[in-house]
Structure 1
Amino acid sequence: MSEREEDGTAEVPVVLTYRYTTEDFRETERALWRVIVRQRPLLYLGTIFMLVLLFVDLTPATVLISVGAVLQVVSIIGGTHAHVQWLNRESEKHGEFRAKFDAAGMGITTALRNDAFGWSDHSHYTETTNLFLLVRLGTMKPADFAPIPKRGLPDPADVDRLRALLGRHLTRV
């Protein structure tokens, strides 16, 4: 038995059980956009600058660059809906999710998988009304975020325990 376990200061794991819903993934996409915009404001300011430049200087180069910027924004918005639908289909294959958070990190168990992630696998987290979103900033690939629905917690007081645990190991954005 470790010294922390003997004196009662060891972290008690937080365990959740849930099934994802389409609304979970919609909320995840909205939260991801807020995180990305906060982390990369120059990308979005540059797009706005190019659109303004289009109205000031109608040279072929600015028109081409501005059209590219608009197409990028449109593909992102259109891709969001498709991404939400894909995430929902994939999560249905897994059925019920069981997540366990402790001092070592997070473990996720489903009918198809059993994965463990250390705290270094996600650098930041954000919180919405209905979920916690763990993210790894800098890459934003599908494996670099994990939505955790609060409704999966057995007791409303566990929301505060999970928030405190995340706050000890990750940076809030």
Structure 2
Amino acid sequence: MNTNDEAVRRDERTVELVYRTSTADVARALRARDAHTAAGRRRRWAIPVAGTFGLGVGVLEMVTDGAVTGPALGLVAAGALLWMITLFGPRLQARAFRGLLEKAGETRAVVDGSGVLVATASSETRIGWAAQPTYAETADAFVMLSDDKGAVAMTVLPKRGIQAPADADGLRALLDANLRRL
């Protein structure tokens, strides 16, 4: 028996989740992270504002000059790209993880008083509460976040992986007891 199994047994209150992490899970987690971190909130307004500015100045220059020139076209293209990043950024970032998610296969997460043990086909990781001291709840998942500026580290616990309906409240209680809810 390894030490992670012993750590799980120490606390009587445990919740087990079994799921396959999807790119949609990752995209929703990225959106939740952006909604709950200062850096994410800045990105959520700064990128569209810059995109709108680029589009507006580029189109205005084309209209006033009466010609499509390189700089004006560049501003329009940059503005359109920034809007594409705003609309599809989390989904595109999540797609970058598709191969890793497929390789990981089924995930088993055990949440107890000492933290979260996440085991996949290729790895096992113990995440203590101090490593990701905050969490956000979405309609589909609990998302644990690190407390650095951009919340770089995060753990997604999809609600569909909860084994018994009553375990959702148990998981929420464990997270509330050990983490700060955002």
User: TM-score normalized by structure 2?
Assistant: 0.68
Q: How many residues align?
A: 157
Q: 2:15·2:112 contact (CA, 8 Å) conserved in 1?
A: yes
**Pairing of 1:37-116 with structure 2 (within 5 A):** 75=85, 77-116=87-126
C-alpha root-mean-square deviation of aligned residues, in Å?
3.2
Equivalent pairs: percent with the same residue?
29
Q: Structure 2 vs 1, CA of residues 26 and 116 (structure 1 numbering), >3 Å: closer, same or farther?
A: same
Runs of 4 or more, structure 1, over 4 Å off, are: 38-52, 68-78
**Pairing of 1:1-173 with structure 2 (within 5 A):** 10-36=11-37, 75=85, 77-137=87-147, 138-141=149-152, 144-173=153-182
Q: Structure 2 vs 1, CA of residues 74 and 140 (structure 1 numbering), >3 Å: closer, same or farther?
A: farther
Q: 2:47·2:82 contact (CA, 8 Å) conserved in 1?
A: no
CA-to-partner distance for each residue in 1:7-29, whole Å, 9 max, x for gaps? Answer: xxx54211111001232123212
CA-to-partner distance for each residue in 1:16-71, whole Å, 9 max, x for gaps? Answer: 110012321232122122112x677567677788888xx9xxxxxxxxxxxx9997
Number of the residue aligned with 1:4: none
Q: 2:135·2:180 contact (CA, 8 Å) conserved in 1?
A: yes
Give 1:123 deviation, angstroms.
Answer: 1.4
Q: 1:122·1:145 contact (CA, 8 Å) conserved in 2?
A: yes
Q: Structure 2 vs 1, CA of residues 100 and 77 (structure 1 numbering), >3 Å: closer, same or farther?
A: same
